[in-house]
Amino acid sequence: MTDAGRVQARRLVKRLAVAVAAAVVLALVAPLGVNAIATHRPVLGLEVAGASRREVWSDSSAVAQKVAARRAGAGIEVGAGGHAERRTLGSLGLVDAAPELHARMLGAGRDGSFWQDAVTQTRAAWGMESVAPPPDRFDGAHLDAALEALAPQVAVAPKDAAVTLEAGTVTVAPDVPGRRLDVPRARQAVIDAVQAGRSSVDLPTAPVPATVPAATLEGAAATVRAAVERPLSLVAGGARVTVPAERVFAALPVTVAGGKASVHPDPAGLAADVDALAGKVDAAPQLRIILADVVVAPGVEGRRLDKVAASAALAAEVKARAGGGGTETLTVPVATLPFAVQQATPGAFTGDQTVHLTFDDGPGAHTEQILDILKAKGVHATFYAVGNRAKDHPDTLRRILAEGHRLGNHSTTHPDLTKLTRAQVEAEIVTTQDTLTQITGLRPTAFRPPYGAVDDVVRQVAAEQHLSVDLWTVDPEDWKQPGAAVVRDRVLAAARPGSVVLLHVLTQGTVDALPGIIDGLRAKGFALD
């Protein structure tokens, strides 16, 4: 190459070098100029995780908010004592990082020395500079409130020891400690887990002791155990009621005050045992009924349990057992109730020398068999019908009359008429009169009060209905089913001229005894009708 050519080549190289240098300077200076003017935006090319460079430069506030919201929505599983639930960091009080992140974005390349900012802006221009979100921080009050809201789900109440009765044995059920959320330690556990990047955290708990430990109850339990293991019976008038162990236990509740257990007797629940004994003891007196100087019904004294004395005795016994004493059997007084003596209305059989067979409580049961025997023996009798049963056996009623027997009224439901109001007595008698008349076409003129119970009101109502009041003089108590032979022998032994024999249509024993009664009375010379 000539000297002229070499000179020209060197000039070209110099021009190219100047151009390159100018381009480099322009590439470096241009971003600096833009960043110096657009101070409300991050430097060109700055990066933030999850957002494009253009997004960061054009709308840095929205990017900061998006990054902060994504972090607040991140979840962590918090749990304790078997309970766990998913919570967001925001719900746990994560501080909003958007303002601080935005400030970091705007300060990058602008908050250092000139050369530091120049380097940062240059790195950003070449895609080599990024901003990290600030470290997670929690609002202490908000985090505590979130943990306090979770605390009831974690908490388990302690269970106090208790004196119990199981399979008849008094034992002490042990106390069981509870648990509660330890909020101060739980707060730090959440912070540590989030800072470590863990997806779950076990919250620490603290034990909650029971108010009443088992040791407190041992002495009282021993007293109750001894009281329950000993039997307790109430005795009165030959009857006995054994108080169940469960009720003895319930009557000796254990209470704790000032850390000391004691037994406080409460016999209120034993009233059922007093009532049970009264049910076995109490009996109403039965009238002594005299008909024409003959004792028709001997009368029986009644008796009544002294419930006040029984309750007082039980209260004293429970109190004694609470103190480690007491007995096993309490004898309770019984009051005697005298029977009343009543002169019976003679009725339709007075003065008659014939023995009269009468049958109560029909029709039904064995009435047809009895009618068959009477027909075969050629004997007539009187049947006192109960109104409610008469409706179900109209044909039997008609047969009674058709075969020459007498039909009488025995009330509608068979109550003790002396315990009813006058209106009720009228209903019992009049209703049956109407029922029997409707079925048979004949209105009865005979009436036998159930149980032989009669007073002035019953007599008055019967008289108004033109009814005789028929009782009896011989009662073999066949309704108790002592056996056919016993019923027969009782009638034959007690029969006298004019006797009225009380029988019932309720049992087969009466049916079996009837032929022997008829034959025996005739053998003794009695006429029957």
**How are beta strands 286-291 and 169-173 bridged, if at all?**
unpaired
**Strand, helix or coil at 374?**
helix
Strands (E), 89-196: 130-131, 162-166, 169-173, 178-181
Which has the closest alpha carbon to 202: 72, 286, 78?
Answer: 78
CA separation, residue 233 to residues 269, 274, 282 (Å): 15, 10, 18
For Cα atoms 391, 397, 399, give the angle at the middle one, nearest 5 degrees.
Answer: 145
Active site residue 504: yes
Contact status, residue 172 vs residue 217, Cβ threshold 8 Å: yes
357 within 8 A of 487, measured Cβ to Cβ: no
Q: How many residues does the chain have?
A: 529
At which residue do the structure tokens 């979130």 appear? 146
Give the max Cα distance, the chain.
189
**Sequence-ordered strand ranges (E) for 104-229:** 130-131, 162-166, 169-173, 178-181, 200-202, 205-208
Neighbouring residues of 271: CB distance < 8 A, sequence distance ≥ 6 = 311
Q: Which of 182, 282, 360, 478 is catalytic?
A: 360
Sign of CA dihedral 210, 212, 214, 216: positive
Chain-centre distance for alpha carbon 352: 66
| 138 in Cβ contact with 191 (< 8 Å) | yes
User: Which run of H or of E encompasses 124?
Assistant: helix 114-125
Cα separation, 5 vs 174, in Å, equals: 112
* Distance of alpha carbon 44 from alpha carbon 66, whole angstroms: 20
Q: Which of 102, 405, 410, 504 is catalytic?
A: 504
- Helix (H) or strand (E) holding 204, with range, is none
To the query of whether residue 202 is one of the catalytic residues in this protein, the response is: no
Written as six digits, the tokens of 523 are 């053998």
The catalytic residue positions are: 360, 504
